[in-house]
């Protein structure tokens, strides 16, 4: 499916374009739908603590781990029982998969990121910045 | 098939903080809360699936 980059407000440039896709997370009986930044530079999925709370994840009780990014270090909590559901409007079907997620204690304009260990394992992703769009082709599983 | 563009410039007009709850077709803001809990409380009885997004004035300067 082809997903146009989403225009977002910005102080400096007035508009920025970001590869955001609708996603629903499920933790047992709790669901939360939002928009995830598709980030080829992210090693794995990240959600903020507020999203974890919306999914009834007691993140404070999970041991903290120190992570590193290009900007420095951050604190996160590993959670391995989450499922992600992405609707493919081309196939008119849901793609659902399990993912390990890092619940991050940090301030960021984006509260949810999908990366290499999750979405990029499930689909071929082609960024076409010159067209302001990305193409997501999910792998077929029997 | 191309997904419709999700225009957060339009959706976030008038919202500079908190969280917004967006309709399933991504065209309208159904609810706003000063935080996610409040937005979810307002959307509790919504008849359609809603998508939540943090409202802000600027989304740049992010290095992933």
Query: Model confidence over A54-106: pLDDT tens digits?
Result: 999 999 999 998 887 766 778 899 999 999 999 988 888 999 999 999 999 87
According to the model, what pLDDT value does residue B59 have? 74
pLDDT over threshold 70, residue B24: yes
According to the model, what pLDDT value does residue A11 have? 73
CB contact under 8 A, B12 and A8: yes
Q: Specify the pTM.
A: 0.92
* Per-residue 3-state assignment (H helix, E strand, C coil) for A2-35: EEECEEEEECCCEEEEECEEEEEEEECCEEEEEE
- For chain B, how many residues are written? 64
Residue A69, chain B, CB below 8 Å: the answer is yes
Residue A22, chain B, CB below 8 Å: the answer is yes
Which candidate from A9, A15, A32 shows the least CB-CB separation from B52?
A32
Query: Model confidence over A34-50: pLDDT tens digits?
Result: 999 999 988 899 999 99
The β-bridge partners of A76 are A65, A104
This complex has an ipTM of 0.92
Cβ–Cβ < 8 Å for A40, A116:
yes
- When pLDDT is averaged across residues B10-39 and rounded to a whole number, the result is 95
The β-bridge relationship of strands A45-48 and A64-69 is unpaired
pLDDT over threshold 80, residue B6: yes
**Nearest-5° Cα angle at A6, A12 to B30:** 105
pLDDT over threshold 60, residue B64: no
């Amino acid at each position: 499916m082809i997903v146009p980059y989403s225009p977002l407000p910005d102080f400096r440039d007035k508009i920025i374009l970001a590869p955001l896709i609708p996603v629903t997370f499920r933790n047992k009986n709790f669901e939360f739908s939002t928009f995830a930044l598709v980030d080829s530079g992210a090693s794995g999925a990240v959600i903020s603590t507020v999203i974890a709370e919306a999914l009834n994840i007691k993140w404070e009780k999970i041991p903290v781990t120190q992570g590193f990014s290009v900007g420095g270090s951050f604190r996160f909590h590993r959670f391995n029982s989450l499922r992600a559901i992405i609707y493919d409007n081309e196939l008119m079907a849901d793609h659902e998969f399990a993912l390990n997620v890092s619940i991050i204690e940090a301030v960021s304009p984006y509260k949810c990121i999908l990366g290499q260990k999750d979405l990029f394992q499930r689909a071929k992703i082609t960024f076409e910045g010159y067209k302001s769009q990305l193409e997501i082709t999910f792998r077929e599983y029997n | 098939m191309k997904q419709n563009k999700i225009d957060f410039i339009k959706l976030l007009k008038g919202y500079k903080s908190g969280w917004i709850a967006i309709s399933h077709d991504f065209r309208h803001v159904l609810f706003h809360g000063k935080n996610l809990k409040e937005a979810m409380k307002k959307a509790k009885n919504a008849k359609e699936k809603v998508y939540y997004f943090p409202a802000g004035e600027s989304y740049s300067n992010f290095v992933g």
